[in-house]
Chains A and B, each alone.
Chain A
Amino acid sequence: MNTESNVLRESALDSKRAATASVSQTRPFYWSVRRELWENRWIFVGQLAVAGVFLVGFLFNMTRWLAEMRSLSATNPAQYWETVSLPYNIGAGVMMGALILMSLFYSADALYSERRDRSILFWKSLPVSDLTAVLAKASIPLVILPLLTVAVTVAIHLIMLLLSSIVLPASGISLASIWKELSIFQMWGMLLYHILLAHVLWPFPVYCWLILVSGWARRAPLLWAALPVVAIGGLEKLIFRTSYFAAMVGTRLIGGNAPTDVTHGEMFPTGPMTHLTPIRYFSAPSLWIGLAVAAVFLTAAVRLRRYQGPT
Chain B
Amino acid sequence: MTVIEARGLRKAFGTTIALDGVDLRVEEGRILGLIGPNGAGKTTALNAILGLTPYQGELKVLGRNPWTTRDQLMRDVCFIADVAVLPRWARVSHLLDYVAGVHPRFDRAKAEGFLAKTTIRHASKVRELSKGMVAQLHLALVMAIDAKLLVLDEPTLGLDILYRKQFYDSLLNDYFDRSRTIVVTTHQVEEVQHVLTDLMFINRGRIVLNCSMEEFESRYSEVMVHPEQLAAARALKPIHERQVLGRSILLFDHADRKQLAALGEVRTPSIADLFVAVMSNPAGHAQGAAR
Interface residue ranges, A against B (CB under 8 Å): 20-21, 23, 27-28, 30-32, 34-35, 38-39, 114, 117-122, 124-130, 132, 306-307, 309
Given known pairs A34-B98, A38-B94, the reply for A126 and B103 (CB within 8 Å) is yes
Instruction: With CB as the reference atom, state the residue of chain B lying closest to A40.
Output: B89
For residue B88, CB closer than 8 A to chain A, the reply is yes
Q: Is the interface of A mostly helix, strand, loop or mixed?
A: helix
B189 at the binding interface (Cβ < 8 Å):
no
Whether B85 lies near A127 (C-beta < 8 A) is: no
B104 at the interface (CB under 8 A from A): yes
On whether the beta carbons of A21 and B101 are closer than 8 Å, the reply is no
Cβ contact within 8 Å between B87 and A125 = no
Check B99 against A117 for contact (C-beta < 8 Å): no
Could you tell me if A127 and B98 are in contact, using CB atoms closer than 8 angstroms?
Answer: no
Instruction: Evaluate contact between A125 and B104: CB separation under 8 angstroms.
Output: no
Pick from B81, B88, B105: contact of A20, CB below 8 A.
B105
Q: Is the CB of A309 within 8 A of B101?
A: no
Which residues on the A side are within 8 Å of B104 (C-beta)?
20-21, 23, 127
In the assembled complex, B97 has its CB within 8 A of some CB on chain A = yes
Q: Knowing A118-B85, A126-B74, A127-B75 are in contact, say whether A28-B90 is a contact too (CB < 8 A).
A: no
Is A31's CB under 8 angstroms from B52's CB?
no
> Inside 8 A of B98's CB, which chain A residues have their CB?
31, 34-35
Segment 175-225 of B: residues with Cβ below 8 Å from A: none
B87 adjacent to A122 (CB under 8 Å): yes
Evaluate contact between A122 and B101: CB separation under 8 angstroms: no
Shortest Cβ distance from B127 into chain A, in angstroms?
Answer: 10
Chain B, range 91-134, C-beta contacts under 8 Å to A: 91, 94, 97-99, 101-105
Contact A117 B88 (CB under 8 A): yes
A162-B54 Cα distance, complex, nearest whole Å: 61
Interface positions of B from 58 to 81, Cβ below 8 Å from A = 70-75, 78-81
- Known A23-B104, A127-B102; contact A38-B90, beta-carbon cutoff 8 A: yes
Q: Of B74, B87, B102, which contacts A31 at CB under 8 A?
A: B102
Q: How far is the CA of A85 from the CA of B88 in the complex (A)?
A: 45
A123 to chain B, nearest CB (A): 8
- Name the B residues within 8 Å of A39 (CB-CB): 87, 89-90
* Cβ-based interface call for B47 (8 A): yes
Of A122, A306, A309, most buried by chain B (CB within 10 Å of CB) is A122
Q: Is the pair A34, B97 in contact by a Cβ cutoff of 8 Å?
A: yes
Q: Which residues of B contact A118 (CB under 8 A)?
A: 81, 84-85
Contact yes or no, A126 B102, CB < 8 A = yes
> In whole Å, how far is A189's beta carbon from the nearest beta carbon of chain B?
35
Query: From A39, which residue of chain B is reached at the shortest CB distance?
Result: B89
Task: Give B77's nearest chain A residue, CB to CB.
Answer: A125
Interface centre among A23, A35, A121 (most CB of B within 10 A): A121
Q: Which residue of the partner chain, among B70, B89, B103, B138, contacts A124 with CB atoms under 8 Å?
A: B70
Complex Cα distance A124/B79, Å? 9
B268 to chain A, nearest CB (A): 35
Q: Are the CB atoms of B102 and A28 closer together than 8 Å? A: yes
Complex Cα gap A130–B71 (Å): 8
Cβ B87 vs Cβ A119 within 8 A: yes
**Bound-state Cα–Cα, A35 to B50, Å:** 23
| A121: B residues at CB distance < 8 A | 52, 79, 81-82, 85
B86 within 8 A of partner (CB): yes
State A114–B71 Cα separation when bound (angstroms): 17
Bits for B28-71, please: 1 = Cβ < 8 Å to A, else 0: 00000000000000000001001011100000000000000011
A27 CA to B90 CA, complexed, in Å = 19
Known: A125-B78, A127-B102. A31 touches B97 (CB 8 A): yes
Contacts of B88 in A (CB 8 A): 117, 119
Determine whether the beta carbon of B89 is less than 8 Å from that of A127: no
Q: Are A128 and B102 in contact (CB under 8 A)?
A: yes
Q: In the docked arrangement, what's the CA distance between A129 and B70, Å? A: 7
With known contacts A35-B94, A307-B54, A119–B101 Cβ distance under 8 A: no
Bound form: Cα–Cα A122–B95 in Å: 10
Q: Which of A30, A119, A127 contacts B72 (CB 8 A)?
A: A127
Contact between chains at B97 and A117 (CB < 8 Å): no
A-B contact pairs, 24 of them (CB 8 A): A20-B105, A21-B104, A27-B101, A28-B101, A35-B94, A38-B89, A38-B91, A114-B87, A119-B85, A119-B86, A119-B87, A120-B85, A124-B74, A125-B74, A125-B78, A125-B81, A126-B99, A126-B102, A126-B103, A127-B73, A127-B74, A128-B102, A129-B70, A130-B71
Q: In the assembly, what is the distance between CA of A122 and CA of B270, in Å?
A: 33
* Residues of chain B contacted by A21 (CB below 8 angstroms): 104
Q: How far is the CB of A83 from chain B (nearest CB, A)?
A: 46
Complex: chain A residue closest to B47, CB-CB: A309
Q: CB-CB < 8 A to A23: which residues of B? A: 104
Q: How far is the CA of A125 from the CA of B72 in the complex (A)?
A: 11
